[in-house]
Amino acid sequence: MVTSTHETSHRIFQDHPEVLTPAFKALGLPPPAKAIIEALTPDATEVKPLERRVDTVLKVEPSDGDAFLIAIEAQTARSHDKGSSWSYYVAYLHAKFRLPVLLVAVCRNRQTADWAAGPFQSRVGTWTTQATRPFVLGPDNVPEIADESVVAREPALATFSAIVHSESEKAPAILDMVARGMRSFDRATAKYWCEWLEVELENTPVRETWRELEKMVATYFPGRGTLFEETYLEGKAAGRAEGKAEGQAEDRVALILRVLEKRGIGIPQDTRDRISTCTDLDTLTLWFDRSLTATAAEDLFADA
C-alpha cells in the first residue's frame, strides 16, 4: 500500500539527487553534482491490466562516461514477492530505454537491508538464468549526522540520514542534531525539510521526539497532519470564529443605531463612534435592549 511515509522515502531522490552520493562513492562513479539527472516515468505497466510501478526512476548522464538508469525502491520490511518484482523492473527498464540499470533499495534497518541485497535468482537446478542484486542504501553505508554544520551545508543528505537511521538507538540524538542545524535556515527552507522528516517518521517511535524538536522550526505538509499544519488549521479556525464574532458585532451595532434613529433619538458623533467601535457582544446586547426604551442616546451607557 502506498503511504505518505513510503512516498517521501524515494521522492526525495527526484528533487535532490545529491542524496545518492553514498551510492556513487561506493560504486566509484562521478558525484551526482557532475551529472545531468532527470526523473523518468516510473510506470512499468504492459498492455495487460497488471499495474507495475517503480518508486522512482532517474536517468543519469555523467560528465564523463555512459548514461544509465537508477531505479529506486523504498523498502521498510521483507516482502516475499519483491525479488521477482525487482527483477521485472530491471529487465523492463533495460529493454525499454536500452540503458543499464542500477537498482537501489532504501532500507531503515539492518535486517531489511541484509535481505534486500539479494541476490534474487531465477534458476533451474544449478543453472541461474537471471540474478538481481540491488545496491542497498541503509544504516551501514549512510553516514550518521554528528555535526550540525553538515545540516546547514547538505540539508538533503542530513534529512536522508535521519530517515535511514530513524529506527536506530541513536535516532533521537541524530534528530536533535538535525533540528539544531535547521536553526540556521530561513523559515521557508526550515519548513520544507521539516515536512520531509515528519511525514517520513510517521510510523516510527521517534515521531513524537521530532515533533517536539521541530517546534523551533515549524512545518507544513498539506493533508499529512504535521505540526505546522495543526497550528495553521487552528489559526484558520480561530480566524473563522473571530470573523463570525466580528460579523455579529457589526449586525448588533447596525440594529442599535437603526432603533435609535427610528425612534427619533439624536445620536451625537462621539456616541455613534462609541457604539460603532464596540466589539463585545454582551455589551452590544445590553445596549440594544436599552435602545428600545431609551429617551436619549446616552441612556445606553447609564451604568458605565
pLDDT along the chain (304 residues), means of 10: 54 80 84 76 50 81 88 90 92 93 93 94 91 94 88 90 90 89 82 81 82 64 49 54 68 82 84 88 83 84 72
167 and 132: one domain?
Answer: no
- Whether 242 is in a domain gets the answer no
- Rounded Cα distance between 101 and 92, Å, is 10
Q: Are strands 68-74 and 56-62 parallel, antiparallel or unpaired?
A: antiparallel
Which is it for strands 127-132 and 35-40: parallel, antiparallel or unpaired?
Answer: unpaired
Looking at the structure, tell me whether residues 93 and 186 fall in a common domain. no
Query: Does a structural domain hold residue 47?
Result: yes
pLDDT of residue 248: 75
Kindly state whether residues 121 and 3 are assigned to the same domain.
Answer: yes
What is the domain range of residue 164? 144-225
Q: Which residue has the cell 543453472?
A: 127
Q: Is residue 240 part of a domain?
A: no
β-strand pairing of 120-124 with 35-40? unpaired
Q: Within this chain, do residues 125 and 8 fall inside the same structural domain, yes or no?
A: yes
What per-residue confidence (pLDDT) applies to 103? 95
Q: Answer yes or no: do 63 and 158 share one domain.
A: no
Q: pTM of the entire structure?
A: 0.63
Rounded (10°) angle between helices 227-262 and 281-291: 10
pLDDT at 136: 95
Tell me, yes or no, whether 131 and 15 share the same domain: yes
Say if residue 132 is in the same domain as residue 152: no
Q: Look at residues 91, 111, 142 and tell me which one is the last residue of a structural domain.
A: 142
Q: How many domains are there within the chain?
A: 3
Three-state secondary structure string covering the chain: CCCHHHHHHHHHHHHCHHHHHHHHHHHCCCCHHHEEEEEECCECCCCCCCCCECCEEEEEEECCCCCEEEEEEECCCCCCCHHHHHHHHHHHHHHHHCCCEEEEEECCCHHHHHHHCCCEEEEECCEEEEEECCEEECCCCCCCCCCHHHHHHCHHHHHHHHHHCCCCCCHHHHHHHHHHHHCCCCHHHHHHHHHHHHHHCCCCCCHHHHHHHHHHCCCCCCCCCCHHHHHHHHHHHHHHHHHHHHHHHHHHHHHHHHHHHHCCCCCCHHHHHHHHCCCCHHHHHHHHHHHCCCCCHHHHHCCC
Same-domain pairing of 135 and 3: yes
d(CA 260, CA 290): 10
112 and 189 inside one domain: no
Instruction: Clarify whether residues 167 and 288 are in a common domain.
Output: no
5 plus 98 within the same structural domain: yes
* 150 plus 218 within the same structural domain: yes
pLDDT of residue 216: 61
